[in-house]
Amino acid sequence: MSQNEDLRIGVYVCHCGSNIASVIDPKAVAEFASALPDVVLTNNSLYTCSDAGQRQIQEDIKNHKLNRVVVAACSVRLHEPTFRACVAEAGLNPFLFEMANIREQDTWVHSHEPEGALEKAKDLVASAVAKSRFLTPLDMIKVPVTKTAMVIGGGVAGISSALDLADMGIKTYLVEKEPSIGGRMAQLNKTFPTMDCSI
């Protein structure tokens, strides 16, 4: 656990082009982060999620023996999977990665309050760094897969998906609540764009 470990945290503050950098100075955030305990490296890049940005993280993990990575950029809902995969490729457990959302939840909503946005970015980074100290490596849980699909709704969308799945060799239940499949399309006369009959 963390108390026995020599922590080496790397913090990456992204510009996201001008999305972040037009409101706050990412360098100031990085400078702030460099003063936090156990942070051994900070970095700014134009786009941390770019190939070059990710490669930099991977090289730093190797060269600077980083064992925690914090990226301050966009939403976890967007790029957490990207960066987890990035650190994993460099041999770091993906759950030793943490993210601070300084775009959607900071510069994009506080563009008229740049000073407040900067203070907030620092706090968000401090929070991510603080959490990162207590992160532990985790392994994905592997579950078996039942190789059968269920499609609910037998309209044209459901029928198309069921046929595709079935052609891929997957057993598929097509569940339709009416006595017949077909959905609305079955009611139509001729259909655009081809003007042929619908069924």
Ligand X SMILES: Cc1cc2nc3c(=O)[nH]c(=O)nc-3n(C[C@H](O)[C@H](O)[C@H](O)COP(=O)(O)OP(=O)(O)OC[C@H]3O[C@@H](n4cnc5c(N)ncnc54)[C@H](O)[C@@H]3O)c2cc1C
Count the residues in the chain: 199
**How many other C-beta atoms can be found within 10 angstroms of the C-beta atom of residue 150?**
11
Half-sphere exposure of 156 (CA within 13 A, CB side): 8
The item of ligand X, other proteins, none sharing an interface with residue 28, based on CB under 5 to 8 Å by kind, is none
The residue (of 52 and 185) whose beta carbon lies closer to ligand X is 185
How many residues lie near ligand X (CB under 6 A)? 17
| Contact between residue 155 and residue 184 where contact means Cβ atoms under 8 Å apart | yes
Q: Does 150 bind ligand X (CB under 6 A)?
A: no
Q: Give which of 140, 141, 139, 133 is closest to 1, Cα–Cα.
A: 133
> CB of 88: closest distance to ligand X in angstroms?
38
> CB of 90: closest distance to other proteins in angstroms?
19
Instruction: Name residues contacting ligand X, limited to 151-170 (CB under 6 A).
Output: 152-158
Could you give the CA distance from residue 62 to residue 84 in angstroms, rounded to a whole number?
16
DSSP at 7: -
Q: Does 175 bind ligand X (CB under 6 A)?
A: yes
> CB of 183: closest distance to ligand X in angstroms?
3
Q: Does 138 bind ligand X (CB under 6 A)?
A: no
The residue (of 2 and 160) whose beta carbon lies closer to ligand X is 160
Could you give the CA distance from residue 116 to residue 105 in angstroms, rounded to a whole number?
12
Q: Does 114 bind ligand X (CB under 6 A)?
A: no
The residue (of 86 and 151) whose beta carbon lies closer to ligand X is 151
Q: Give which of 102, 191, 92 is closest to 132, Cα–Cα.
A: 92
Sites of contact with ligand X (CB under 6 A): 152-158, 175-178, 183-185, 188, 191-192
